[in-house]
Structure 1
Amino acid sequence: MTAPLPGFAGRTYLFQVDNGAAFRNAYSADGTRLRWEGLGESAGQWEDVGLHVAHVGPELYFVSWTEASGITVSHVMDLAALTVRVFWTYEGEGGRVGELHTGTLEPLA
């Protein structure tokens, strides 16, 4: 028996973060991959990443990935409210740095 597709599968969203960052997130039709593209100050940056996905409630998904740079990203996506709680970590001065943010999703496709 196969798991149902996540609600974001095959969809594209504008993801706006509370720190001013913005991304165009395009999810594969099977919900296993994400192509993110930076907008604004991050324009020109992009990556195609494999996803770890868990369905944790009605229209609620935990999604995580690791980027080639070593940045780790974890989202709790609420597709009913079109909100995201995001935690990312990266290598900073003196060791690993973690940041917790909130954001909104706007469906584009």
Structure 2
Amino acid sequence: MKRRFTALAAAAALSLAGTGTLIAGQASAADVRPSAATRSHAPRVPLFAGHAYLLTVDDGSVYRNTFSADGRSVTGLTVVGSNVGRTFTAPADAVRTGSKQFFISWIEPGGVTVSQVVDFDRHTVEFYVSSDDSTGTLVGGLHHAKLSQVS
């Protein structure tokens, strides 16, 4: 029974994620009924979607990040620091990690990778940025920022 339950749980996870292939002897995704929560027709939009935020970083830099209406892309602008005026738009992935906390990540054109934990209750952002330096060596750094909503 425990083995069948495990197989059913795996089938449900694969079905909901839309990934994976079941092999002979495993439960099928059809053996599992989706809960009311998974039957929703419209995906939930994250609370940051459609808003712009200023990030005032511990190194003195200031960035403006504007998220699309569905929260699936970000447009960034360097306001203060090196490369003032630099802008980009990139697809963003996000997952809720707390009540008003999200892990948000994207790869900017040119290869800069940003991974951040945004806490909307505390108005803080902890983030790691990595990129290639002028010699082609991958470098990165961990930063802390204050967050303020501007739109």
TM-score class normalised by the smaller sequence: over 0.9
- Higher RCO (CA < 8 A, seq sep 6+): 1
Structure 1 unpaired stretches of 5+: none
Q: Distance in 1 between matches of 2:75 and 2:137?
A: 28
1:20 deviates by 1.0
User: What's the counterpart of residue 34 of structure 2?
Assistant: none
Between Structure 1 and Structure 2, whose CA radius of gyration is higher?
Answer: 2
Query: How do 1:18-57 and structure 2 match up within 5 A?
Result: 18-41=58-81, 42-57=83-98
The answer to whether structure 1 residue 66 and structure 2 residue 115 are counterparts is no
Give, as a single letter, the amino acid of the residue that structure 2 aligns with 1:79. F
1:43 deviates by 2.0
Q: How many residues align?
A: 109
User: What's the counterpart of residue 50 of structure 2?
Assistant: 10
Query: How do 1:80-99 and structure 2 match up within 5 A?
Result: 80-92=121-133, 93=135, 95-99=137-141
Q: Distance in 1 between matches of 2:126 and 2:61?
A: 14
Q: Which runs of 4+ in 1 moved over 4 A?
A: none
More strand by proportion, 1 or 2? 1
Q: Distance in 2 between matches of 1:15 and 1:26?
A: 11
More helix by proportion, 1 or 2? 2
Q: TM-score, normalised by structure 2?
A: 0.68
Q: Distance in 2 between matches of 1:98 and 1:35?
A: 21
1:53 deviates by 0.7
State the identity as a percent.
32
Q: Distance in 1 between matches of 2:75 and 2:90?
A: 6
Structure 2 unpaired stretches of 5+: 1-39
Q: Distance in 1 between matches of 2:78 and 2:43?
A: 30
1:3 deviates by 3.7
